[in-house]
């Protein structure tokens, strides 16, 4: 108890403005880190490390320092170093992605408007070709919420978005044709990505697993998913857990321009009455 009182008495001697600024900066850094890691496995790991460090600091202040456990205090210093080393190893994918984003936002300017416009046309070209041949496909557009938790389990590609590449990936019989492709900006991040399925009741009946997967990933994130039905060639778009069907090429271009170039989500359109709602989509996304 004396240790707590001594701690608060020492804080009372500090300049309140300096304390406020320091706490604000620490809060901003923690918020930025959690926001950056949101949607990835690193988010839970980061929260665990923060809780572990806070608990360790409290124990150090209230127990070790009070009873003068010098050896435990000495070992605690090594423990912090070990936590730092483990964190660097565990957060390797997130650190690499952060450095890539910093580089893209720096002097090189990242993806230009022309590159993103070209990405839109490449996706439209691939979707049209897949729909015409009735080749099933699901293309997920990653936005602010990172989908690393899902792409880590897929096959990493990291390539420019090209119509020919997308058509090749989804071509029946290829090793990557099943499951989903994830795109971020003007790059294909990964293929053969397993997505969570929306519940049958929530999806509104006997939708195929592609459409349920599109609704599932957009329910838990701000991603947008494009689905091509292999039964009818119908093109659909899922956003905010809602599914819009029978999307025309012009509608697709408007939505993709808003999502990829303007970076502003459009309001989902009202659901259309459709006669092929119960079409099956033969894609394995798990139970």
Ordered by where they begin, the domains of the chain are 2-103 (no CATH), 111-261 (3.40.1700.10)
CA–CA gap between residue 246 and residue 43 (Å, rounded): 37
Residues 6+ away with beta carbon under 8 Å from 13: none
Higher pLDDT, 89 or 116: 116
User: What are the C-alpha distances in Å from 65 to residues 72, 231, 242, 259?
Assistant: 9, 70, 56, 54
pLDDT at 265 over 50: no
Is residue 141 very low, low, confident or very high in pLDDT (cuts 50, 70, 90)?
very high
pLDDT at 92 over 90: no
Reference 140, options 192, 200, 203; nearest CA is 192
CA–CA gap between residue 191 and residue 158 (Å, rounded): 10
Q: What local confidence, expressed as pLDDT, does residue 7 receive?
A: 60
Reference 2, options 95, 67, 79; nearest CA is 67
Q: What local confidence, expressed as pLDDT, does residue 8 receive?
A: 65
Q: Which structure tokens are listed for 118?
A: 């070209």
b/e sequence 168-192, b meaning 16+ C-beta within 10 Å: ebbeeeeebbbbbbbbbbbbbbbbb
The CA-based angle 167-170-171, given to 5 degrees, is 80
Beta bridge pairs of residue 180: 193
Q: What phi, psi does 182 have (nearest 5°)?
A: -110, 130
Bridging pattern class, strands 224-228 and 137-142: antiparallel
pLDDT, one tens digit per residue, over 166-211 is 999 999 888 888 899 999 988 999 999 999 888 765 555 567 888 9
Higher pLDDT, 158 or 193: 193
Q: What local confidence, expressed as pLDDT, does residue 271 receive?
A: 42
Q: Which structure tokens are listed for 122?
A: 């490449």
Local structure of residue 238 (DSSP, 8 states): E
């Amino acid at each position: 108890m004396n240790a707590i009182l001594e701690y608060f008495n020492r804080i009372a001697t500090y300049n309140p403005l300096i304390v406020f600024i320091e706490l604000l900066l620490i809060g901003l850094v923690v918020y930025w880190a959690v926001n950056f890691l949101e949607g990835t496995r690193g988010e839970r790991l980061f929260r665990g490390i923060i809780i572990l460090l806070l608990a360790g600091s409290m124990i150090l202040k209230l127990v070790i320092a009070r009873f003068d456990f010098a050896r435990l205090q000495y070992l605690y210093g090594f423990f912090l170093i070990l936590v730092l080393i483990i964190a660097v190893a565990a957060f390797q994918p997130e650190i690499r992605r952060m450095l890539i984003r910093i580089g893209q936002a720096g002097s090189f300017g990242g993806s230009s408007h022309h590159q993103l416009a070209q990405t839109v046309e490449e996706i439209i070209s691939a979707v049209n070709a897949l729909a015409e041949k009735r080749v099933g496909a699901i293309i997920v557009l990653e936005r602010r919420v990172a989908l690393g938790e899902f792409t880590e389990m897929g096959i990493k590609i990291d390539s420019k978005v090209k119509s020919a590449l997308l058509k090749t990936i989804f071509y029946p019989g290829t090793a990557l044709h099943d499951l989903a492709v994830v795109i971020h900006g003007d790059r294909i991040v990964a293929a053969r990505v397993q997505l969570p399925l929306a519940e049958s009741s929530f999806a509104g009946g006997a939708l195929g697993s592609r459409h349920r997967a599109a609704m599932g990933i957009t329910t838990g994130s701000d991603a947008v998913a494009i689905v091509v039905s292999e039964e009818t060639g119908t093109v659909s778009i899922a956003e905010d857990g809602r599914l819009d069907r029978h999307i025309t090429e012009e509608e697709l271009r408007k939505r993709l321009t808003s999502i990829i170039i303007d970076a502003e989500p459009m309001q989902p359109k009202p659901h259309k009455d459709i006669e092929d709602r119960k079409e099956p989509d033969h894609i394995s996304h798990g139970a």
